[in-house]
Amino acid sequence: MKKGFGEYRGSSNYIVSDELRNAVNIAIALQKPLLIKGEPGTGKTMLAQSIADGLGKRLIVWNIKSTTKAQEGLYVYDTVQRLYDSQFGDHDVSNISQYIKLGKLGEAFVSDEQVVLLIDEIDKADLEFPNDLLWELDQMNFYIPETKETIVAKHRPIVIITSNAEKELPDAFLRRCIFHYIAFPDPEGMKEIIKVHYPDLDKKLMEQCLEAFYWLRTIPELQKKPSTSELLDWLQALVIGGISPKRITEELPFLGVLLKKNQDLDALLWHLNNRPQSRIAHRQSFQSR
């Protein structure tokens, strides 16, 4: 049995905690998928890019949608194109392999070098989707009956699976994964993230923005709380707009960068109307828009 874990230590543009770093390296050492959960905007998807950058490997992304089937990740047989070629084409269509296109999982299997495979937002698919991948993720091979060919992974990919916890995943699938939950960063952790993206940002501006941002997230009626990525966009908008730190204490400029639903804007207005006198300026500024 080999001792020691892998060499992932984070990357220049991604702040990784000790717990997350250990989870990544344990998953690599045990050759198991790493299942990452957390609310939107906590850096789940960016983790896969960080792992690829940190280990010098290529990243393959499989974006999951509500209609995605597990088969699509293995291969797709283009029967429509074959039928078209048989009727209107001028070449032999008996070679079915020319109509087989590997999916993202298949692409990762046949890569000449180990890759990082991101299966992004697996909880968007139907309930059977994770179970349909169990064999392939365990055995690292799959069979194509149309060509009677078995695709075997040249190198076991580093598999990162993300979930927003929109639905529960099957127990059989969970047993085969290493799990880590990315908690939403606290203000100190968020400062470190901001410094990575905007190292020259005015300190006072950052502090005022963080105060307003975390206050917004405490409003219980918000249907969609602003995320890390939206905070970074807001900071950029404030800098481009030349907004001073003092103005953020008096109003909340460019709210559309942070709040994306009318109901959330209404909830904010209600809270501004019911906050102490120190927030009167915020309320008046918001109502004037």
Q: How does pLDDT run across 232-280, given as a tens digit for each residue?
A: 999 999 999 999 998 887 888 999 999 999 999 998 888 877 765 444 3
What is the per-residue pLDDT for 54?
93
Mean pLDDT confidence for 25-41: 92
Amino acid at site 70: A
What is the per-residue pLDDT for 21?
93
What is the per-residue pLDDT for 22?
95
Higher pLDDT, 220 or 118: 118
User: In sequence order, what are the beta bridge partners of 37?
Assistant: 163, 181
What homologous superfamily does CATH list for 18-181?
P-loop containing nucleotide triphosphate hydrolases (3.40.50.300)
Mean pLDDT confidence for 38-61: 92
Nearest Cα neighbor of 29 from 9, 54, 6 is 6
Does 75 score more than 90 pLDDT? yes
Q: Global pTM?
A: 0.83
Does 48 score more than 90 pLDDT? yes
Is 226 in contact with 216 (CB distance < 8 Å)? Answer: yes
Question: pLDDT band for position 78 (50/70/90)?
Answer: confident
What SS3 class is residue 257? helix
Mean confidence (pLDDT) of the chain: 88
What is the per-residue pLDDT for 288?
42
Is 164 in contact with 206 (CB distance < 8 Å)? Answer: no
What is the per-residue pLDDT for 80?
84
What is the per-residue pLDDT for 19?
93
Amino acid at site 207: E
